[in-house]
């Protein structure tokens, strides 16, 4: 999925002729600390909450406020990279530019998370297993082959790389079957280490509460 598929064109950027007061209102409504400033379709930079608060008068125009360098993503970029940029820069909103580097809209963290959920089929019933692989054993082809021999289909795969004290790859696999015991038994026979095995029936029992907690967190 590409960035332009979740592009939001309804959120207007801040203009240099806007006042500090208007910018503060926008940042407060959208729960963000940085907001893109655009003039004649050109992304000039981002105004920060700190700079706005430091302004002596809220009637001052944005063109008088120092801007920070803008973080942006191309409209044809994959949302994986957009998500990485948002996390790296702790942004709730990130501006999007076209091939001519013109501002075309923004994407929101909430929309990115929903898109990732669609990519990994998080809303589909089934089961999730987690397999640990040492770096020298890391290959997905054999893992996938063994899973499919048990009649299961893979709906999504996420790979956590080794970091810190973690010496192995951790591969989480979403399957289209509720009971993954046969798949796990087959993988274990071939030496794979299964660290978790959860079905949608179990996850559904507290999914609603956890989803509500996530939404509340994202809206903070």
pLDDT tens profile 175-219: 999 889 999 999 999 999 998 887 655 444 444 454 455 555 555
* Residue % of the chain over a pLDDT of 90: 53
Q: Which of 75, 92, 117 finishes a domain? A: 117
Residues 178 and 99 in one domain: no
Of the pLDDT bands very low, low, confident and very high (cuts 50, 70, 90), residue 9 is very high
Mean predicted confidence (pLDDT) in 97-116? 90
CA distance 167 to 207: 31
Find the domain containing 156 and state its range. Answer: 124-216
Residue pLDDT, tens place only, 157-171: 888 888 777 788 889
Residues 133 and 209 in one domain: yes
Residues 27 and 79 in one domain: yes
* Residue % of the chain over a pLDDT of 70: 89
pLDDT of residue 139: 82
Residues 209 and 149 in one domain: yes
pLDDT of residue 164: 73
- In whole angstroms, how far apart are CA 97 and each of 82, 101, 185? 12, 5, 49
Q: Are 171 and 159 in contact (CB under 8 A)?
A: yes
Show the DSSP H helices in 134-199 as ranges: 141-149, 181-189
pLDDT of residue 207: 43
Residues 72 and 165 in one domain: no
- List the single range of 37-46, 114-123, 166-175, 206-215 with lowest mean pLDDT: 206-215
Residues 65 and 143 in one domain: no
Residues 8 and 93 in one domain: yes
CB within 8 A of 14, min separation 6: which ones?
A: 22, 23, 26, 35, 36, 37, 38, 47, 62
Q: Which of 67, 85, 117 finishes a domain? A: 117
Of the pLDDT bands very low, low, confident and very high (cuts 50, 70, 90), residue 11 is very high
Question: What mean pLDDT value characterizes the chain?
Answer: 86
Residues 78 and 138 in one domain: no
Q: Are 180 and 152 in contact (CB under 8 A)?
A: yes
CA distance 141 to 151: 16
Residues 104 and 192 in one domain: no
Residue pLDDT, tens place only, 146-155: 999 999 999 8
Between 209 and 40, residue with greater pLDDT? 40
Q: Which of 65, 95, 117 finishes a domain? A: 117
Show the DSSP H helices in the chain as ranges: 20-29, 49-54, 79-89, 109-119, 141-149, 181-189, 200-218
Q: How many domains does the chain have?
A: 2
CB within 8 A of 118, min separation 6: which ones?
A: 1
Mean predicted confidence (pLDDT) in 12-30? 94
pLDDT of residue 138: 76
pLDDT of residue 44: 94
Residues 107 and 135 in one domain: no
The pLDDT of residue 145 is above 60: yes
């Amino acid at each position: 999925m590409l960035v332009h598929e979740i592009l939001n064109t309804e959120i207007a950027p801040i203009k240099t002729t806007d006042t500090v007061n208007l910018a503060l209102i926008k940042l407060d409504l959208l729960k963000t600390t940085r907001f893109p400033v655009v003039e004649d379709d050109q992304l000039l930079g981002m105004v920060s909450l700190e700079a706005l608060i430091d302004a002596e008068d809220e009637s001052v125009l944005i063109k008088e406020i120092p801007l920070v360098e803008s973080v942006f993503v191309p409209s044809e970029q994959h949302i994986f990279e957009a998500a990485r940029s948002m996390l790296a820069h702790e942004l709730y909103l990130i501006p999007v530019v076209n091939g001519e580097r013109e501002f075309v809209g923004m994407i929101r963290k909430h929309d990115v998370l929903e898109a990732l959920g669609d990519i990994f089929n998080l809303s589909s019933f089934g089961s999730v297993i987690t397999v640990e692989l040492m770096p020298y054993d890391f290959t997905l082809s054999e893992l996938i082959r063994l899973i499919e021999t048990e009649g299961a289909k893979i709906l999504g795969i996420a790979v956590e790389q080794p970091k810190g004290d973690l010496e192995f790859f951790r591969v989480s696999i979403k399957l289209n079957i509720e009971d993954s015991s046969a798949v796990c038994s087959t993988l274990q026979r071939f030496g794979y280490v299964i660290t978790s095995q959860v079905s949608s029936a179990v996850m559904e029992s507290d999914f609603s509460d956890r989803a509500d907690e996530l939404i509340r967190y994202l809206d903070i």
